[in-house]
């Protein structure tokens, strides 16, 4: 079984990041867990105490709120890093030009305004495109290429980005994160 990822929140319940079970145990051991949520718990066993002969253990919840300033470094409105895997997931692996649903290896990152024409490599200037459509568009804007975008790009919020980056989300974590995803997100629309 793969090690579970724990969803960490700040004190206000804002999603922050995925942490390993080892990091979660550190927060528990240092008494930095403010409160917990979630239906799932995981018990991790430590060493045996020489004094008592008992084995130590920590039981971690699937969602934990962490005390302190470490969680405030990157706020909820921080723009998540752009990469192809999360871009393709944001766009549900659908080409923005032909509407086809493609496998990851048949997709490309298309810059709506090409980089060579002053476009930026940002969430708002990129969409998922199949290799065929991207090749037809080449170094042109959609208007110049005679194509039309089937959907608009957008910047995923922190909760949506956390969903995009983890394929092994437990149901209680997903329910929590979905409460923080915009109703206009393609993730919300795809689930409907």
When computed from its CA atoms, the radius of gyration of the chain, rounded to whole angstroms, is: 21
Sign of the four-CA dihedral 91, 96, 101, 105: negative
Residue 73: DSSP 8-state: S
Residue 185 has pLDDT above 90, yes or no: no
Query: How many Å apart are CA 186 and CA 100, to the nearest integer?
Result: 15
- Looking only at the bridges linking them, the beta strands covering 126-130 and 107-111 are antiparallel
For 173, the token pair is 């974590």
- How much of the chain exceeds pLDDT 90, in percent? 68
Report DSSP state, residue 78. P
pLDDT at 88 over 90: yes
Mean pLDDT of 15-22: 93
**May I ask the CATH class of domain 84-145?**
mainly alpha
Beta bridge mates, 7: 18, 63
Mean pLDDT of the chain: 89
How far apart are the C-alpha atoms of 80 and 83, rounded to whole Å? Answer: 9
> Can you give the residue ranges of every domain in the chain?
6-72, 84-145
pTM of the model: 0.76
Give dist(CA 69, CA 71) in Å, integer: 5
> Which DSSP string do the residues of 29-72 spell out, in sequence order?
HTT-EEEEEEEEEEEEEEEE-TTT-PEEEEEEEEEEEEPSGGGG
Across 113-123, average pLDDT: 96
Q: Which has the closest alpha carbon to 99: 138, 130, 125?
A: 130
Residue 192: pLDDT band with limits 50, 70, 90: very low
In this structure, are residues 60 and 42 in contact, taking their beta carbons and an 8 Å threshold?
A: yes
- Alpha carbon 120 to its chain centroid, in Å, reads 22
Yes or no: say if 181 and 160 are a contact pair by the CB < 8 Å rule: yes
């Amino acid at each position: 079984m793969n090690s579970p990822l724990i969803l960490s929140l700040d004190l206000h319940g804002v999603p922050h990041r995925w942490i390993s079970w080892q990091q979660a145990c550190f927060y528990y051991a240092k008494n930095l867990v403010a409160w917990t949520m979630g239906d799932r718990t995981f018990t991790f066993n430590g060493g045996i105490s020489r004094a008592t002969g008992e084995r130590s253990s920590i039981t971690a919840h699937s969602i934990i709120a962490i005390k302190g300033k470490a969680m405030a470094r990157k706020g909820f409105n921080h723009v998540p890093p752009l990469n192809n895997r999360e871009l393709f997931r944001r766009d549900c692996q659908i080409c923005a030009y032909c509407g086809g649903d493609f496998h990851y290896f048949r997709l490309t990152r298309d810059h709506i305004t090409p980089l060579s024409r002053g476009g930026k490599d940002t969430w708002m200037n990129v969409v998922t495109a199949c290799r065929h459509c991207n090749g037809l568009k080449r170094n042109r804007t959609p208007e110049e290429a005679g194509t039309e975008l089937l959907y608009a790009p957008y910047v995923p919020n922190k909760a949506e980005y956390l969903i995009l980056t983890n394929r092994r989300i437990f149901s209680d974590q997903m329910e929590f994160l979905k409460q923080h995803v915009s109703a206009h997100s393609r993730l919300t629309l795809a689930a409907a």
